[in-house]
Amino acid sequence: METIAEYFAGEPDVAVIGAGHAGIEAALAAARLGCKTAVFTIHLDWVGNLPCNPSIGGTAKGHLVREIDALGGEMGRAADATMIQSRMLNRGKGPAVHSLRAQIDRRAYAGYMKHRLEQQENLELRQAEVIGLSREKGGWKLVTRLGAAFYAKAVVIATGTFLGGRVYVGEVDYESGPDGMFPATALAKAIKALGLPLRRFKTGTPARVNRNSIDFSHLERQQGDGEIIPFSYDTAGPLQNRADCYITWTNAETKAVILANLHRSPLYGGKIEGVGPRYCPSIEDKVVRFADKERHQVFIEPCGLETEEMYLQGMSSSLPEEVQLRFYRTIPGLEQVQIMRPAYAIEYDTVDPTALLPTLECKGLPGLYGAGQFNGSSGYEEAAAQGLVAGINAARRVKGLAPVVLERSGSYIGTLIDDLVTKGCSDPYRMLTSRSEYRLVLRQDNADERLMPLGRELGLIGQEQYERFLARKTWKAEELARAEKTVLPPSEALNDILVSKGTAPLSSGARLSELLKRPQVDYEALAPVDQARPSLPKEIFSRVETQLKYQGYIKRQKAAIAESRRLEQKPLPVPMEFGTVRGLRLEAAEKLNRIQPLSLGQASRISGVTPADVAVLMIWLEKHKKEGEAG
């Protein structure tokens, strides 16, 4: 009988189905870790497509991109290379919620990512629709529309909104992927045949309109930041804004047109079965759910430098095309607007993510991984983060190495995956800073400190990258030490600065660190009197200042993280029959049996499992540990 090694000779170690944001990161990670990798996509010209908003980052999403970069992923570098406008969001709030967002040249981004896949060693990019997926001889068999068969040791499903895709525009609906692409209909049936629990989700996108038909004199201009912070720690040299965005508002007339045609919306007519995103509703959803609101904001954003297409953020819809034109033309600045691509809603198949392990491997289907919208999430950044983790774990499985599970206390990526596989989602999951209980520690500015050592250990961070990280770490430590030992004496110049900032003047000397802890004072303000300040990158001073100002809060969060890790380090047997645990409530036992948590910490986060249930499990674990030691 032939061995598995012989059977797979000449075939990919890892196969990735889909070349969107999840598939790209999964494929690059697996290939960079030394696995022969094949990527299958329905159309090569749409690799790395941005079918909805042509932007990367945003609130909490910017954190994810920074973390992807710190682990050795590609999204941050691609965003920096194709950025046309960049802004740091939430500057008026604390550093925990500062989030980078960049408007992207849509076609340049796709071209960048396609070229990266083409250049990557160990990676083969194929235009082929996978219609069959089955277990065979300890691995996975993939069959394409043209009848070719491939065998892989591990597979990552990263199908985006293509899986069973159906587009809705008013009374018209048809099978389709995003942007008029073919849907993955046959593959949906093959995946369902594997026994995975699928359900229908829905998302939507606004119309794209011609720039030349917009009256910009009625719009509020939104420029990028003067000083641009890149997503990637490897991006060298200053970045430049090359385009502006604009803001306008809907009005009572817009609302009236939508309400008069609500019966023509497939969302309200009952045609769409899928559940839509809670945090990105269509415009018809907004006028119904927020009936007392007089107007809604519309962001008008360029799709690229070599196109006149503009994206109307906040105006997704599934109403008929002629109705779309009527309500768009009620908006100031859009009175003569021309639609280039109509808005549409798209319904697609996703898996219940509680059917996945924290490694993103499907339970009971070894070597099969899910990533991105297939797992019930929404957003490019959420998809890329999962793709990176799925690709890493697929490669490690092939190589016989232990899987990687990112802690929710250590990253937003860990929080995202833990939420999906432990709590599940009833609508498309979007990352929010409020989802993390440790957000003051999980800032976007320190993603390298939290994750780059792991990226290096895994083999995705190169020596030069790591040396630059170590230099940043040293600079920060030295500046913290200098701030603690540097005493600034009282002087007229210093006191003038303090008074001008609305804080008390000095009567005796004070350490630089103590002055920086004052909410009103920052490094920039103290520059004239801080003569011994070293020449360091601005980001180092920003990190030091944040650490000093929030020292007490950070200390408390780190204590909470230590307690959380104590529970995470108490593994539970897998599989386990929780109904046999005396004292455990029936509801808790049922939910624990369904999720099969890997640790006491994960068990504590399952909806319906109470602290009392966790206490029962802890007692059970201690008892069995003692019995094991005695035996």
Helix (H, G, I), strand (E, B) or coil at 250: coil
Give the Cβ contact number of residue 270 at 10 Å.
7
What does the pLDDT read at residue 547? Answer: 95
Confidence of residue 279 (pLDDT cuts 50, 70, 90): confident
| Cα angle value 72/435/161 (rounded, 5°) | 65
pLDDT 10s digits, 438-453 = 999 999 999 999 999 9
480-531: per-residue pLDDT in tens? 999 999 999 999 999 999 999 999 999 999 999 999 999 999 999 999 999 9
Distance CA 90, CA 101 (A): 11
- Looking at every residue in the chain, the average pLDDT score rounds to 94
Which residue, 140, 373, 351, 191, is CA-closest to 277? 373
Tokens coding 2: 């032939």
pLDDT at 10: 60
Where do the DSSP E strands lie in 78-138?
Answer: 83-89, 99-104, 123-127, 130-136
Mean of pLDDT values over 404-427: 95
Overall average pLDDT of the 317-321 stretch: 96
Q: What is the number of alpha carbons within 13 Å of residue 320 lying toward its C-beta?
A: 12
Whole-angstrom Cα distance, residue 257 to residue 289?
16
Q: Do residues 347 and 202 lie in contact, with contact meaning Cβ atoms separated by under 8 Å?
A: yes
Fold of 467-555: Arc Repressor Mutant, subunit A (1.10.10)
> What is the predicted pLDDT for the residue at 278?
79
Distance CA 394, CA 26 (A): 9
Q: What are the structure tokens assigned to 279, written together?
A: 């945090």
DSSP secondary structure letters along 294-357: ---EEEEEES-SS--EEEEET----S-HHHHHHHHTTSTT-TT--EEE--EEEEEEEE-GGGB-
For residue 580 the two structure tokens come to 């046999």
Terminal alpha carbon distance of the chain: 41
Which two structure tokens, joined as six digits, stand for 418? 């833990």
pLDDT score, position 567: 87
The predicted structure's pLDDT at residue 147: 93
Residue % of the chain over a pLDDT of 90: 90
Contact, 447 vs 63, CB < 8 A? yes
Give CA separation, 296 vs 62, 240, 324, 440, 563, in Å.
24, 30, 16, 31, 43
Average pLDDT over residues 15-35: 98
d(CA 28, CA 292): 48
Looking up tokens 């005796």 gives 508
β-pair partners for 36: none
**For residues 10-29, average pLDDT:** 95
Tell me which residue of 286, 250, 279, 285 sits closest to 267, measured CA to CA. 285
Residue 4 has pLDDT above 80, yes or no: no
The whole-number pLDDT of residue 563 equals 85
Alpha-carbon gap, residue 328 to 308, rounded angstroms: 17
Closest to 88 (Cα-Cα) out of 221, 243, 230, 238: 230
- Nearest CA to 392 out of 373, 414, 408, 422 is that of 414
Distance CA 203, CA 161 (A): 9
Q: 3-class SS at 144?
A: strand
Rounded CA separation 172/324 (Å):
14
When pLDDT is cut at 50, 70 and 90, the band that residue 274 belongs to is confident
Whether residue 254 is predicted with pLDDT greater than 50 in this model: the reply is yes
Instruction: Give 555-607 pLDDT, tens digit per residue.
Output: 999 998 998 888 888 999 989 999 999 999 999 999 999 999 999 999 999 98
336 vs 206: CA distance, rounded Å = 17
**8-200+350-458 belongs to CATH 3.50.50.60:** yes
CATH number assigned to the domain covering 570-630: 1.10.150.570
Taking each helix axis from N to C end, the angle separating 321-328 and 252-260, rounded to the nearest 10 degrees, works out to 160
Question: Which amino acid is present at 9?
Answer: A
Domain ranges of the chain: 8-200+350-458, 208-347, 467-555, 570-630
How many residues are listed for the chain in this entry? 631
pLDDT of residue 7: 44
Tens of pLDDT, residue by residue over 172-201, are 999 999 999 999 999 999 999 999 999 999
Task: Report the distance separating Cα 477 and Cα 483, nearest Å.
Answer: 10
pLDDT for position 629? 58
What span, in angstroms and rounded, lies between the C-alpha atoms of 26 and 398? 14
Cα 96 to the chain's mean position, in Å?
16
Distance (Å, whole) CA 149 – CA 38:
13
- pLDDT tens sequence across 111-156: 999 999 999 999 999 999 999 999 998 899 999 999 999 999 999 9
| Weakest-pLDDT range from 73-77, 513-517, 625-629 | 625-629
Q: Which SS3 state, helix, strand or coil, does residue 445 take? A: coil
Distance from the Cα of residue 45 to its chain's centroid = 23
Which pLDDT band holds residue 630 (cuts at 50, 70, 90)?
A: low
Segment holding 4, helix H or strand E: helix 4-7
Q: What is the pLDDT of residue 546?
A: 95
Cα(631)–Cα(177) distance, integer angstroms: 58
The average pLDDT across 48-60 equals 95
Residues 6 or more apart from 103 whose CB is under 8 A from it? 54, 55, 83, 84, 85, 86, 224, 243, 245, 301, 302
pLDDT-above-70 percentage for the chain: 98
* 328-372 confidence digits (pLDDT tens): 999 999 999 999 999 999 999 999 999 999 999 999 999 999 999
**Domain 208-347, CATH among 3.60.70.12, 3.40.50.1000, 2.40.30.260, 3.40.50.740:** 2.40.30.260
Q: Do domains 8-200+350-458 and 208-347 have the same CATH topology?
A: no
Is residue 59 a contact partner of residue 187, using CB atoms and an 8 Å limit?
no
Examine the pLDDT at 3 and tell me if it is beyond 50.
no
Average pLDDT over residues 464-480: 97
14-17/154-157 β-pairing = parallel
Sign, CA torsion 388/82/317/58: positive
Order across the sheet with 154-157: list the strands: 123-127, 37-41, 14-17, 154-157, 368-370
DSSP state of 605: T
Rounded to 5°, the CA angle 128-132-134 comes to 130
Cα–Cα nearest to 394, from 195, 194, 153: 153
User: Minimal CA–CA distance to 94: which of 445, 379, 381?
Assistant: 445
